[in-house]
Structure 1
Amino acid sequence: MDTLNIGGNEGDRFYRYKMPKLISKIEGKGNGIKTVVPNMTDIARSLSRPPTYPTKFFGCELGAQVNCDEKKDRYIVNGAHEAARLQELLDIIIGKNANTQKVIRDCKACGRRTEVDMRHKLVTYILKHPPSTPKGKDGKKDRKNKKNEKNGNESPTSPTRDSAESDDEITKRIVAEAAELPIADKNAKDDDWAVDTSPEAVAKRIKDLERDVRTSLIVDDDDSEGEQEPHESFDEWLEDNNDARNNDVYKKIKELGISKDTDIVLKHLVLHLFPENFQKNDNIEKQIQKRAKLFKKFVLNPDDQLALLGATEKLLNEHKGLMESKTVCKILMGYYQSDLVEEEVIQAWIEGSNSSKYKRLFKRNASVTYADEAINQDIRNKAKPFSNSIVSIE
């Protein structure tokens, strides 16, 4: 397996600290495409960190959901990502190098220990998921870890490791000589990289930590790895951008990957794009015609037409001011004139699922009913004048 110098120090070919080169494997297609890192465990072992930390960092930086299955040794980042891009992000996390228990970063080459950026979402994740005792390849605790735990000693991953652990002779001699040096005076001035332990600095760090934890409890859900559902994101975006152009709305739908969820997309579009204009009860047909091109992207067959009418039932149910026969007929006329709904589908909707002629159509679209049946029947009764007017015209 190819190896790299940890931290991107490629100028020193004899650098002691190395790691495996990151490998990425893209699986799936369409909305289900994902990137698997097969050697994440080996990479994390060389960094002395749990493999979930770098994986979570990838998700935070790329704005993607991640899935960590430690039992199956599978670490996944949603979306298609090249190995070179993930390697760049890995170099960033090596720079941060967060020690999970003390929230510091420590360099194994020079021993420098400094605080990490407490504002990053990865720090919140680390505080909630402290590392477990390192395990061997067979999934059991290493024999050395068991012995240390039994004797009450520190884990081999502790910063105060045994100086005799896999060091060369020169390093052993340096460590032995360092152990004989006198302990520094407590009143001596700290080095530039030392942690400030004054009461003011400690109080400030605690305050910052509490703020980050409160923020994470609001916006970071562990079950969803801190990511919001696409439909919820679209609903919030429409609420803030109900005057957006048709092209911008359609681009947002494609960006979130929900274009195939016709029923839900139509519901969001109807509930957010029409209420304010419909409440004015003027130029309803004009407002529908303005959005007709956008709706035609999703209304492609009778099933979709019935879904549009189901979303309209939800709109009328939430805005009682629209529950007038005249307004209901205006909305249907707008759909009809914009070629969004055909006559026979409107007839099927008004007659309801009891109509033997359209019973099959309703059976396929049972999920598009959003309001109480009694309310739906009231809406359909108010729509009958429109149905009669179409029949009379023909």
Structure 2
Amino acid sequence: MATINIGGNNQDRFYRYKMPKLISKIEGKGNGIKTVVPNMSDIARSLSRPPTYPTKFFGCELGAQVKCDEKTDRYIVNGAHEAARLQELLDVFIKKFVLCAGCNNPETDLIIIGKNNSQKIIRDCKACGQRTDVDMRHKLVTYILKYPPTPPKSKGTKKDKKTKKGEDDEQASPTAKGSSEEGTDDELTRRIEAEAASLPTADEYRDDDDWVLDTSAEAVAKRTKEFSKLLLDESGSDEESGDPYEQLDKWLEKHATSASSNDIYKKIKELGIAKETDQFLQNPDDQRALLGATEVLVSEHKDLFESKIVCSILMGYYQNDLLEEEVFQAWLEGDSSKTYRNLFKRNASVSYVDAAINQDIRNKAKPFAKCILFIQKYF
């Protein structure tokens, strides 16, 4: 069923106060034609008003007879009336007999005060606490005074609350069968409180020796030493902490004479550097550092100092997105080129090996450069 804001309040964008959209059904013909509102009970429930009130209001505004049969849940207005027209009248009813005149909130109760000719109908707002008068000149007022709404539930005095609390304490335990309040909020509260009372207290478990913490300098130093040892045991060694690129650099220094190109690649993958290709692509200096580490490794390992192996290492970097073409070309041109100085900011002046060795390594890498050009041209 479609819902709308109560009273057509367009400012209530989140539909906090909503009601079903009025539906009308025209029945009969000629003088017997009539309009039935099938969902009047649902609308009235949303407004916290008896369904007879808005139905009688339609009759007063349209000058038509109405019929309210609460047993069959049929609310009828004589004549043919479109749903849009009845919805407009319903909004007027809501404004006059539902919405608080102070805060424009629909959370109100109708209360009749006074006696005889001095009776008044007021809207008691549960949202802001204001009590605002209803226009006593409207024809519906006579019907409301004759058939008053059900009085709202009284909150009770402090004495009543104490009496009620005493009665609750004298009742059977929450687990007793046949309780008339089984399943209610009060019953659930009592059950929770009873179970909480049966739980052991902290004193039952407390061991004073366990709760005392030695804060002396010796004790603190001992705990620090144990904690440091634990960290080293979990990480393996000091070399395993810190930035992954620093770890790679230390590893290359340690295994400069024994590591193969496959070992280097496996170590890169192990450190998770291979997974961070986006960072590599965005940072030429890190790629230059990788090439520098490769220079050191190749220069210190004679088995690697061959054009075929150097190209194989570079191809591995390239295929795994560890090395950009632009970075490789700048490195190949050397640190004296303008491209090199413009591309590398942090590592532009860093020398990883002697200039002569560096030039020799770059010469051995030239076949790889031709391979890159071939790929660019045909792929």
Give the TM-score normalised by the residue count of structure 1: 0.35
Larger radius of gyration: 2
Give the TM-score normalised by the residue count of structure 2: 0.36
Q: Which has the higher contact order (CA 8 A, sep 6+)?
A: 1
